[in-house]
Amino acid sequence: MTDPDSRWLVPVADVPRHELVPRWWERDGSGAWELRDGPSDPEAWAEAAYADRSLVTRVGPLHADQAEPGDRPEGRPTSSATLPSLVVRMLRHGRLGDGLSLLDLGTGAGGLAAYACHRLGDACVTSLDIDPYLVSAAGERLAGMGFHPTLITADATKEVPGTYDRIVSTVAFPPGRGLQPVLRALEFGGRIATTLARTSFIVTGWKDRHGDVVGRVEREWAGFMATRSGEDYPPALDDLFALAREADGEQTRTGRYPVVDVGNAWELRSMLEVTVPGIESDYETSGRQRTAYLAHPDGSWARASAERTDPPEVHQSGPQRLWDALERIRHRLNAEGSLPLYGAHVRITPDGVVHLSRGKWRASMGAR
């Protein structure tokens, strides 16, 4: 997970990751969440903790530490111990250096804070999370390893106390107003590395004397949970997805391209978010049949279904034709061999709006 000559090799090797994740959630054969308790199965604990994988520690409002063996939480993961190789990549993107202050956004299990304290020293590291229990538990476990970063419980989309030379985020921020407090917390000349909500691209940049963050979309991707402002994420577009599963669309046609699992087609998913902000997706299979769903808060929905790679039957309703938007992106990818997103120039203005450009292509995210 780290190169033999990496400056992060020793921190990763020295941090006992299993102590940060004594319990976690895994999907069972039926797709339900099942509790895993490390101390009761040390071999499985070590195998999970030291594999290069993310471990889900919280589903909905229920943290694995606080769960009973028979609990079966429903909902989306709301916290995890991020896979170490991705943590190291984000730290590298942060361009850390001796004496520079670092803000770790998204304490989670405490892995990034541990590596950073090992490398930079406790006095240089601040870690923030919205969840008081996560901050408390991580703090106790880090202290047991001899690490004592500054820990803050706060909603970073509303307030970030202090200012920092470097900000590295392992949660995905919404462009616009929700990004403003983070930008204010970055010192002039400082650097940020983050992802944006509902996308998989990593944005890095330096804060210039005008207050803009200027950088690029890195040519790699990462998937982080989006920020939240409460115990759990707001209700998903369940009613709209239920409608998409059953209803006939206002428009029905034959699709141009095979059905795709949009949520796992990261480049398509990211470009779709740039094009139609706020869009959500779902996907299911039944034998040879594959069905994809798209929904948007404005009431638009789409359903595309077909056997394997056959042309799908597409149903669409609402103010926007969501499958049409996806097909335009897929057509551009097929025609040009790539999309303009990865490697694009980025300018984030103090209002949190993310301006993207590459060649003649221009797009903005987060504008009201």
Q: How confident is the model at residue 4 (pLDDT cuts 50, 70, 90)?
A: confident
- Assess contact for 28 and 11: CB atoms under 8 A: no
pTM for this one? 0.95
Whether 188 and 148 share a structural domain: yes
Reduced to 3 states (helix: H, G, I; strand: E, B; else coil), residue 95 is: coil
Beta strands in 112-212 (DSSP E): 125-129, 150-153, 164-173, 186-196, 201-207
Write the single-letter amino acid at 138.
A
Across the chain, mean pLDDT equals 95
DSSP class of residue 18? Answer: H
Q: What CATH code is carried by the domain that includes residue 161? A: 3.40.50.150
Q: What CATH code is carried by the domain that includes residue 282? A: 3.30.160
In a domain, 367, yes or no: no
The Cα–Cα gap between 169 and 196 comes to 10
Whether 77 and 88 share a structural domain: no
Residue whose C-alpha is closest to residue 125's, from 94, 156, 154: 94
Residue whose C-alpha is closest to residue 71's, from 61, 81, 79: 61
Question: What token pair was written down for 8?
Answer: 């992060």
Q: What pLDDT, on the 0 to 100 scale, is given for residue 1?
A: 60
**Which single residue is written with the structure tokens 């896979």?**
83
Helix axes 111-120, 84-93, angle to 10 degrees: 50
Whether 107 and 222 share a structural domain: yes
Residue whose C-alpha is closest to residue 104's, from 136, 145, 151, 63: 151
Q: What is the pLDDT of residues 68-103, one digit of tens each?
A: 999 999 989 999 999 999 999 999 999 999 999 999
Q: What pLDDT, on the 0 to 100 scale, is given for residue 132?
A: 96
Q: What is the pLDDT of residues 228-258, one digit of tens each?
A: 988 888 887 989 999 999 999 999 999 999 9
Domains contained in the chain, number: 3
Whether 41 and 125 share a structural domain: no
Beta strands in 197-330 (DSSP E): 201-207, 213-221, 251-254, 280-286, 289-295, 301-307, 313-317
Whether 355 and 211 share a structural domain: yes
Whether 73 and 90 share a structural domain: no
Q: How confident is the model at residue 18 (pLDDT cuts 50, 70, 90)?
A: very high
**Which single residue is written with the structure tokens 């798209």?**
294
What DSSP string runs through 207-238? E-TTS-EEEEEEEEE---PBP-SSSSPPP-SH
The Cα–Cα gap between 105 and 286 comes to 40
Residue whose C-alpha is closest to residue 161's, from 126, 129, 185, 134: 185
Q: Considering 27, 61, 81, which residue would you say is the last residue of a domain?
A: 81
- pLDDT at residue 180 above 90? yes
In a domain, 90, yes or no: yes
Whether 219 and 130 share a structural domain: yes
Q: Is 310 exposed, middle or buried (0-12, 13-18, 19+ CB in 10 A)?
A: middle
- pLDDT at residue 116 above 90? yes
The Cα–Cα gap between 257 and 203 comes to 30
Q: What is the pLDDT of residues 198-208, one digit of tens each?
A: 999 999 999 99
DSSP percent split of the chain into helix, strand, coil, nearest 5: 30, 30, 40
Whether 221 and 166 share a structural domain: yes
The Cα–Cα gap between 164 and 120 comes to 14
In a domain, 66, yes or no: yes
Q: What pLDDT, on the 0 to 100 scale, is given for residue 304?
A: 98
In a domain, 99, yes or no: yes
What DSSP string runs through 66-85? G--TT----S-EEEEE--HH
Whether 274 and 223 share a structural domain: no
Q: Considering 48, 81, 114, which residue would you say is the last residue of a domain?
A: 81
Mean pLDDT value across residues 160-168: 98
List all residues 6 or more positions away from 24 whose beta carbon is below 8 Å from its beta carbon: 36, 38, 48, 55, 56, 57, 64, 81
In a domain, 368, yes or no: no
- Assess contact for 153 and 161: CB atoms under 8 A: no
Whether 116 and 209 share a structural domain: yes
Q: What pLDDT, on the 0 to 100 scale, is given for residue 27?
A: 93
Q: How confident is the model at residue 368 (pLDDT cuts 50, 70, 90)?
A: confident
Whether 171 and 290 share a structural domain: no
- pLDDT at residue 54 above 80? yes
Q: Considering 27, 55, 81, which residue would you say is the last residue of a domain?
A: 81
In a domain, 2, yes or no: no
Question: What token pair was written down for 224?
Answer: 């982080």
Whether 176 and 315 share a structural domain: no
List all residues 6 or more positions away from 40 whose beta carbon is below 8 Å from its beta carbon: none
In a domain, 69, yes or no: yes
Reduced to 3 states (helix: H, G, I; strand: E, B; else coil), residue 30 is: coil
Question: What are the φ/ψ torsions at residue 161 (nearest 5 degrees)?
Answer: -65, 140
The Cα–Cα gap between 365 and 274 comes to 6
In a domain, 186, yes or no: yes
Q: Which domain holds residue 31?
A: 9-81
Q: What is the pLDDT of residues 317-352, one digit of tens each?
A: 999 999 999 999 999 999 999 999 999 999 999 999
